[in-house]
Amino acid sequence: MRPLFALLLLALVSIGSTVAPAAERSGSTAPLVLAQQTFDPPPTGQRGGNQRPPRRGGSSHGLDPLVGFGIGFGVGIAIDALTRPRDDGRELPPLNPPPDPGQTRQPPRNPIVYVSLPNPAPLPPPRPLTDAAAAGGQPPGEFRAGEVMVSLDLQAGADAPAQIAQDFNLLLLRETLIGLTGQRLVVYTIPDPRSVDEVETALTADPRPSAVQKNFVYRLGGEIVRGSMAAGQYALRAMHVAAAHEMARGRGVTIAVIDSAVASDHPEFAGAIAAAYDAAGYGLKVPEPHGTSVAGIIAARGGLVGVAPEARLLAVRAFWREGADGPVTSSSEVIARAIDWAVANGAQVLNLSFTGPRDALVARLLEEARKRGAIAVAAAGNNGPGSAPLYPAALEGVIAVTATDSRDALFAKANRGSYVDIAAPGVDILSPAPNADYQVISGTSMATAHISGLAALLIETQAQRQPDADVAIGAIAGSARDLGAPGRDPEFGAGLADAESMLTNGATAAAAKAR
């Protein structure tokens, strides 16, 4: 009886009244608007408020009651249609659908112009160190086959990349605006048998580029090993992290993990990853063990405990796998993009658990990042005692980290050198793995993650003043437990880092105790 009653009621009311538009009647407004919002949105560029209103008016002729009856009858039918339960199986969609809980939160936009990258060219074989390079202290380095990079000031003009390609018979692959330096990074490929060195020399003589270099290759510094999980997280005991957590837990500190893809859905990362960015762009973003381990060492908060469990992570994918079973690598271009994005999005600590050759582009970007207050922490390398210094750890202003085991012995594969600043546990480290799993992994990469976590604890206790790299290494090294030869040495640096001592010694004592 509900539909019939509504029809009769509206008809009777309308007989004795002046004709009025149905849109003015409160009884019909809500369902009509609801239907329009959910099923019949106005075309793009039109606003519902600009629709012409129905003509108002009234007629004193005797037809008014009849017209009113007809309008009331029609409106009643419309109301009945809109309020009748739907029998087509569809449900009204919510006006504001909730976000997909599995969807990664996208970071805010930044000055970087991201360009999708094609499949990478094959890696060249490692090249022996030449006499000329040895004389200049240049370590051996791999670079992308057939690629050369130039940096262009914005004053060079928008057409400069294409003009250079034409002038030097090159193919323009990609260009990216790097916000840290205010320059365009342009990558070319060589379509003929000319060597990279030959083209690099020719471009250096051109006045338009501000810098020319190879697209160097970077490798991660950790390997999965067969080990026992019985030791658990011995690293936390070795560095007295539990006591340090009574004073600081990395709360409010942003750490960028520039690495391979992190398994962000792992239970250990619940609420830990503030934003993610794919700086590599090659293929599928399949989570990798290395990046997942590094992120977990820093900020695990499930069954494991990270060094800075309340820190905010920026998961920056900068490494990709070469083929189905090939190595996981990166390049100068992608590392530059990753650093630029991380700093633009508030990174206070840059975790760089990878190694490569001396690289002028990456060195300049890290120097700019340092000027903006970011602390760079890098792996000393796993190439053994006979290796030349590896970068970016060997750069001035970057904290270089080596690895120790549960007995405080040096990791056998660790690099040695005067550039090594500090030691931290990095052998048989229990950490998260893809597919909600766990792994035991070793390398100076893992030690680097521990020091990045300590840097976050230090930053939290000095909230009034962001400590720079010099202050950070002074606090970390000054509170370390000496290992090896007395004093600083090329194997352990200042010794094994100690989180509790770092927060209760020297300039950090008052701030730490106040918290």
Q: Which residues are catalytic?
A: 259, 290, 445
DSSP letter for 240, please: T
Cα angle for residues 414, 416, 422 (degrees, 5° grid): 80
CA dist., res. 298 & res. 349, Å (int)? 11
For residue 476, which of 373, 376, 414, 399 has the smallest C-alpha distance?
399
Question: Which residues, 6 or more positions from 248, have their beta carbon under 8 angstroms from its beta carbon?
Answer: 457, 458, 460, 461, 503, 512, 515
Place of tokens 């090159």: 170
Lookup: tokens for 247: 């004073």
Q: What is the dihedral of CA 110, 113, 118, 121, to 10 degrees?
A: -90
**Nearby residues of 279 by Cβ (< 8 Å), 6 or more positions away:** 258, 316, 317, 318, 334, 335, 337, 338, 341
- Residue 379: closest CA among 502, 286, 290, 288: 290
Please count the other Cβ atoms lying within 10 Å of the Cβ belonging to residue 16.
9
- What is the C-alpha to C-alpha distance for residues 186 and 160, in angstroms, rounded to an integer? 10
Surface-to-core class of residue 437, CB atoms within 10 Å of its CB (0-12 exposed, 13-18 middle, 19+ buried): exposed
CB 376 within 8 A of CB 398: yes
The amino acid occupying position 94 is P
How many Å from the N-terminal Cα to the C-terminal Cα in the chain? Answer: 70
Distance CA 239, CA 305 (A): 13
